[in-house]
């Protein structure tokens, strides 16, 4: 069985190979049917964390994706804000996904009342649209402003507090709205502190991308 070759486009600028490749390595660990290659956009060392940082990332993502697609079966924009994804669907000839829509959609497969943890002031738009009335709450860990803040000891304590609030509120499942929570291995951390399932955004983007690649192979067409 040939492995699917997936591009992992990071919106966090780094020249540290260990940090750069962490989503790709997680994807290969979760899904033995894929192999990954990772690249990042330039000049955004704090990633995407608000409207402005989202906006300036979009043309960089599109430019990189266009140059890169030829060697890939599918492209993951590994960010819960799904930056540039809708535009890229009209441009690329391969399946493309962000992390946000897949995570929101997959969480509904696991539980009907979904709580979200993210780093923006409010839940990303795709989560609001996908979850509708099934969204029971959004939490931003205290004092966390960007993806790097999630990796500290203090940041991790606040992630736990956010998850516990969502469980108390009646959540049946927690969905991550930032892939920095995957980098922080927060799913494993939260297993000790909440009793409901936690949907990791890197896990969900990988599963749904496998689905999109397989769908196209079986049913043809490019109207994904």
| The Cα angle at residue 135 between residues 130 and 136, in degrees rounded to 5 | 180
Per CB under 8 A, contacts with a second copy among 80-99 are: 97
Q: Kindly state whether residue 215 participates in binding a second copy, applying the rule CB under 8 A.
A: yes
The number of C-alpha atoms within 13 Å of 142 and in the hemisphere containing its C-beta is: 8
Q: Kindly state whether residue 211 participates in binding a second copy, applying the rule CB under 8 A.
A: yes
32/42 with CB nearer a second copy: 32
Q: How far is the CB of 115 from a second copy (least distance, A)?
A: 15
Q: Kindly state whether residue 223 participates in binding a second copy, applying the rule CB under 8 A.
A: yes
Per CB under 8 A, contacts with a second copy among 182-201 are: 187-188, 191, 195-198, 200
147/187 with CB nearer a second copy: 187
Report the C-alpha gap between 111 and 173 in whole angstroms: 5
Q: Kindly state whether residue 31 participates in binding a second copy, applying the rule CB under 8 A.
A: yes
Number of amino acids touching a second copy (CB under 8 A)? 42
129/154 with CB nearer a second copy: 129
Q: Kindly state whether residue 160 participates in binding a second copy, applying the rule CB under 8 A.
A: no
| The Cα angle at residue 162 between residues 80 and 144, in degrees rounded to 5 | 65
Q: Kindly state whether residue 170 participates in binding a second copy, applying the rule CB under 8 A.
A: no
Pick the binder of a second copy from 15, 18, 32, 93 (CB under 8 A): 32
Q: Kindly state whether residue 138 participates in binding a second copy, applying the rule CB under 8 A.
A: no
Taking a C-beta distance cutoff of 8 angstroms, is the pair 105, 130 a contact?
A: yes
Catalog residues that contact a second copy under the rule CB under 8 A. Answer: 1, 29-33, 97, 101-102, 104-106, 108-110, 112, 129-130, 132-134, 187-188, 191, 195-198, 200, 203, 207-208, 210-211, 214-215, 218-221, 223-224
């Amino acid at each position: 069985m040939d492995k699917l070759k997936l591009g992992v486009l990071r919106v966090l600028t780094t020249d540290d190979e260990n940090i750069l490749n962490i989503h790709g390595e997680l994807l290969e660990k979760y899904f033995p049917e894929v192999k990954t290659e990772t690249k990042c956009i330039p000049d955004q060392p704090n990633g995407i964390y608000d409207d402005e940082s989202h906006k300036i990332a979009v043309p960089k993502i599109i430019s990189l994706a266009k140059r890169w697609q030829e060697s890939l079966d599918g492209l993951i924009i590994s960010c819960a804000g799904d930056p540039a994804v809708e535009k890229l669907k009209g441009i690329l000839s391969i399946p493309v996904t962000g992390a946000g829509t897949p995570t929101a959609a997959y969480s509904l497969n696991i539980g009907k009342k979904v709580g979200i943890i993210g780093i923006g002031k409010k839940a990303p738009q795709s989560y609001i649209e996908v979850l509708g009335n099934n969204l029971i709450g959004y939490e931003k860990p205290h004092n966390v402003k960007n993806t790097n803040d999630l990796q500290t000891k203090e940041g991790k304590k606040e992630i736990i507090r956010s998850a516990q609030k969502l469980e108390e509120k009646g959540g049946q499942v927690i969905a991550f709205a930032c892939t920095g929570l995957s980098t922080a291995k927060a799913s494993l951390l939260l297993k000790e502190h909440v009793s409901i399932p936690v949907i990791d955004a890197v896990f969900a983007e990988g599963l749904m991308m496998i689905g999109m690649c397989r769908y196209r192979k079986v049913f043809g067409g490019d109207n994904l």
